[in-house]
């Protein structure tokens, strides 16, 4: 019998230790898991320790050289890859397990063992391109799973609501017609990609939808974006799977950005997106989110909504900032 939510996580095995003061730290995972308890979802959840993805599996979205480089840096004791992105001796196994969490989630959904899968792991992944780690990300966890599904002839829609544009996911699938990538993000903001006119490569036109919103955008505009732009684009693509790259750093309390969303807004977005694919084909993967209370609230509200529960620790937000982004997208996408 299927459980409502299978959570693939292993906080006790997290060896991706952070430099002092770094926002991408192990406490983030603790906060996300605390949100499940706070939402009263313990009886609806089965926790599973994810496996380690193999180098061959990771290679579905990354070059052989990149995989070897990440393993080698870990074996040499870690270090800074760039000004934001670090590695510790245990980062190889932790990052491999983060990929494994998404792969195991797909397997559980396919087997009918759960209604929704949540890959609660770190480091996040959506900035990692095929041959480079960046933006706190070592491997692109969601992209690996999507690439493997695409190899089997299945169609995947990735909706990324992290406040930062997922340049890595976009780059990996930009010319791949089997994967639809949708990103709502704040602009201008790191990493500086995600323009509205980036709509796919020559072999995959109109397979890449970016909605760059200005600082201060609130939930009403995001709900309208889903209803008027994202939903028809996803319906046109007709995916077999939905992956939500769930960064919760668009929350109004997050220290790294300026959107004004609340945990209730994320819950609303999740329910709308879930309706776009067949039942039992929605996977949520943790990306960013750096205010710990907001991360807990948002995780709990999102998962609660996906199984029809009503945990709402905050009210939804409303405002008109960002509406021109929707209008422009409807024109560009002929909606």
Q: Which residues are catalytic?
A: 127
Asked if 215 contacts 249 with a C-beta cutoff of 8 angstroms, the reply is: no
The burial of 153, by beta-carbon neighbours within 10 Å (0-12 exposed, 13-18 middle, 19 or more buried), is given as exposed
CA 153/CA 273 separation, integer angstroms: 22
For residue 168, the number of C-alpha atoms closer than 13 Å in the C-beta half-sphere is 29
Strand, helix or coil at 184? strand
Q: Cβ–Cβ contacts within 10 Å for residue 135, how many?
A: 24
CA 226/CA 115 separation, integer angstroms: 22
247: Cβ contacts below 8 Å, ≥ 6 apart:
124, 126, 160, 161, 162, 163, 164, 286, 287, 288, 289
260: Cβ contacts below 8 Å, ≥ 6 apart:
216, 217, 218, 219, 252, 317, 319
């Amino acid at each position: 019998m299927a459980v409502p939510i299978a959570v693939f996580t292993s906080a006790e095995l997290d060896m991706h230790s952070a430099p002092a003061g770094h926002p991408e730290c192990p406490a983030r995972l603790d906060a996300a898991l605390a949100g499940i308890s706070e939402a009263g979802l313990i009886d609806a959840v089965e926790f599973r320790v994810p496996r380690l993805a193999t180098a061959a599996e990771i290679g579905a979205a990354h070059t052989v050289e990149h995989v070897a480089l990440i393993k080698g840096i870990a074996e040499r004791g870690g270090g800074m890859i760039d000004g934001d992105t670090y590695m510790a001796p245990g980062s190889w196994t932790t990052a491999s397990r983060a990929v494994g969490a998404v792969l195991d989630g797909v397997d559980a959904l396919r087997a009918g063992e759960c209604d929704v899968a949540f890959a609660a792991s770190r480091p996040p992944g959506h900035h990692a391109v095929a041959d480079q780690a960046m933006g706190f990300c070592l491997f692109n966890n969601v992209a690996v799973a999507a690439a493997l599904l695409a190899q089997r002839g299945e169609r995947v829609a990735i909706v990324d609501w992290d406040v930062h544009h997922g340049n890595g996911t976009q780059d990996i699938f930009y010319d791949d017609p089997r994967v639809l990538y949708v990103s709502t993000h704040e602009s201008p903001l790191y990493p500086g990609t995600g323009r509205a006119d980036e709509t796919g490569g020559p072999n995959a036109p109109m397979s890449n939808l970016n909605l760059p919103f200005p600082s201060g955008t609130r939930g009403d505009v995001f709900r309208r974006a889903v209803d008027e732009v994202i939903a028809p684009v996803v319906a046109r693509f007709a995916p077999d799977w939905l992956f939500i790259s769930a960064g919760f750093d668009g929350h109004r309390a997050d220290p790294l950005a300026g959107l004004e969303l609340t945990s209730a807004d994320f819950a609303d977005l999740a329910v709308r997106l879930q309706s776009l694919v067949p039942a039992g084909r929605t996977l949520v993967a943790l990306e960013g989110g750096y205010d710990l209370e907001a991360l807990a609230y948002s995780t709990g509200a999102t998962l609660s909504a996906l199984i029809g529960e009503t945990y709402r620790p905050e009210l939804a937000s409303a405002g008109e900032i960002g509406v021109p982004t929707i209008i422009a997208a409807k024109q560009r996408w002929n909606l």
